[in-house]
Structure 1
Amino acid sequence: MVFGATGGIGKVVAHEFAKAGTSVAIMWRSKKDDAEALARDIEATGQRGSTHRCDVTDPVALKSAISDAIAEHGRVHTMVWAAGPLVEQVLISETTREQWYNAINTEVHGFFEASTGLISHMKEMGGGSFVHLGSAGELRYPERDMLSVTPKAANESLIRGIAREEGRHNIRANSVLVGVIEAGMFLELTKQGVFGEHWVEEVQKGLALKRWGQPEEIANAAIFLASNKASYITGQQISVAGGYGI
């Protein structure tokens, strides 16, 4: 089950999971055409792809979408959280209440509702895993990125809590800390002129690997954490950020 599966990173994650051999429940909010196209791509790999419309800020709709996905597939073994709004780059002191509440409602309340909505199902099925796509800002704070970093930091605590409390039920929870990836929000904000030449120079100074990451590299880490190869790993973070923060 991939939330935010029609986003720039989310759709690659969903497709790579299918290529790795699993069916995928595509959780989408506003991009119906993209969701249906992704489902067709997944079906082309030989796996089942289902689409489920939900607004993660609406608990009733979210619960219904999760139930529909479980009915469609029988079992959800992994939930990947790739959902999130396009994040405006503003100083904390200039952040509006509307921007703050939108970020928290989507990222934190949405993740809480989605994860708690699946825990009981995973218990009944004998286990499962959560993979949260977090932020490399957890390692080193990137100026003006508070609306992304702070909500995801709250979710990091939830991930550790799930790992600690639900491990006895064979439920694991881990995070992939996402760096600058050539997809989704980074490309959109670059197109809008938010990330200019100076920004690129400054960010690359902080990278050990002097290039931007690719969405497939996020998918590879997520698939590993969801797989039996990571069966004794929980409550951990894998940074896929080119050495940012070292």
Structure 2
Amino acid sequence: MSAADERLPDFPSGGCAVVIGGSGGIGRAIALQLAEHGCDIALNYFSNVTGAEETAARVRRAGHEVHVGQVDLRDEAMVKSFLDEAAQHFGGVHTTVYAAGPYIPMRFVSQQPAATFRDVMEHDAFGCYHLAQASLPHLRTAKGSFTAIVTPAIRRYATRDVLSAAPKAAIEQIVKAIAAEEGRFGVRANAVGVGVITDGLYHALVDRGDFDERFLEASRQAKALKRLGTAEEVAEGVVFLASARARWITGQTLMVDGGYAL
């Protein structure tokens, strides 16, 4: 038997992959690529039920089962209930992906209200923490993986981006804590830093004037590859880190950013 024949499947045949933020552009791309790799999917939405239903329909067209639930990530009990329901429905959870993130108005720290900062931290950093705690009992059983979306701004700060950088820096530390503490149970945890892409919150940021053409051109020029990325390109990195192909990788942050954080 060749080494290729002996390679582990990318994901277990039983249980499911949970994608938090599956109603958005990045979450949808991740859910679809996980389905292409043989995973049934549990995905959530906060307010975008139409987006969640579109993702679910595409997962089903790919030949896999999907469970959809409305989840407010600030509500610890609601997050736990969603994970437990997914595990009961599919017979376990082997993969959890945190791909959520609220809309963030880009302002200088001197102009950003503390109330807005608090709200974003509760949605993002606390939401990811709630997800991690709810996921770990299931991931221990499956010896599974936890992967979170962060930002290259935690390595190379961009002005007016504190509402992205601060909570994602906290999330990166949550990921490292999971990797360090849960490896003894066979659980891995990694992060993917996402640069400016033409999906997800991109359109809302353009519509509201946070991303104007001057900003976008500067963003392109700041990247080694001189272009913006796509949700599909981000999903490739996420799915790799979540899969058995990355079974010796944990506690790492992979920057999928076109070379911004060099």
Fold-level match, TM-score > 0.5?
A: yes
Q: Bigger CA drift: 24-33 or 164-173? A: 24-33
What CA distance in whole angstroms lies between the structure 2 residues aligned with 1:7 and 1:51? 13
Unaligned runs of 5+ in 2: 1-17
What CA distance in whole angstroms lies between the structure 2 residues aligned with 1:192 and 1:53? 26
Q: Report the AA paired with residue 67 of structure 1.
A: D
- The 3 A distance-change label for structure 1 pair 103 and 216 is same
What CA distance in whole angstroms lies between the structure 2 residues aligned with 1:31 and 1:193? 22
What CA distance in whole angstroms lies between the structure 2 residues aligned with 1:152 and 1:78? 20
How many residue pairs match? The answer is 245
What CA distance in whole angstroms lies between the structure 2 residues aligned with 1:200 and 1:30? 28
Map 1:90-109 onto structure 2 (within 5 A): 90-109=107-126
Give how far 1:88 is off. 0.6
Contact 1:178 1:240 in 2 (8 A): yes
SS in 1 for 2:42: strand
In the other structure, the counterpart of 1:78 is 95
SS in 2 for 1:71: helix
SS in 2 for 1:9: helix
Q: Report the AA paired with residue 219 of structure 2.
A: V
Contact 1:176 1:240 in 2 (8 A): yes
Q: Report the AA paired with residue 62 of structure 2.
A: T
Q: Report the AA paired with residue 63 of structure 2.
A: G
Asked if 1:21 is matched to 2:38, the reply is yes
Asked if 1:177 is matched to 2:193, the reply is yes
In the other structure, the counterpart of 2:12 is none
In the other structure, the counterpart of 1:201 is 217
Contact 1:52 1:68 in 2 (8 A): no
Q: Report the AA paired with residue 119 of structure 2.
A: N
Asked if 1:163 is matched to 2:179, the reply is yes
Q: 1:228 aligns with which of 240, 244, 251?
A: 244
Q: Report the AA paired with residue 182 of structure 1.
A: T
What CA distance in whole angstroms lies between the structure 2 residues aligned with 1:139 and 1:8? 24
Contact 1:9 1:215 in 2 (8 A): yes
Unaligned runs of 5+ in 1: none
1:135-176 Cα shifts (integer Å, max 9, x gaps) = 011220011010011100011011111000100100000001
Give how far 1:207 is off. 0.7
In the other structure, the counterpart of 2:79 is 62
Give how far 1:185 is off. 1.2
In the other structure, the counterpart of 2:61 is 44
Give how far 1:40 is off. 1.5
Q: Report the AA paired with residue 35 of structure 2.
A: A
Contact 1:126 1:169 in 2 (8 A): no
What CA distance in whole angstroms lies between the structure 2 residues aligned with 1:121 and 1:22? 16
Asked if 1:35 is matched to 2:52, the reply is yes
Q: Bigger CA drift: 1-10 or 189-198? A: 189-198
With normalisation by structure 1, the TM-score equals 0.96
Contact 2:255 2:261 in 1 (8 A): no
Q: 2:106 aligns with which of 73, 82, 89?
A: 89
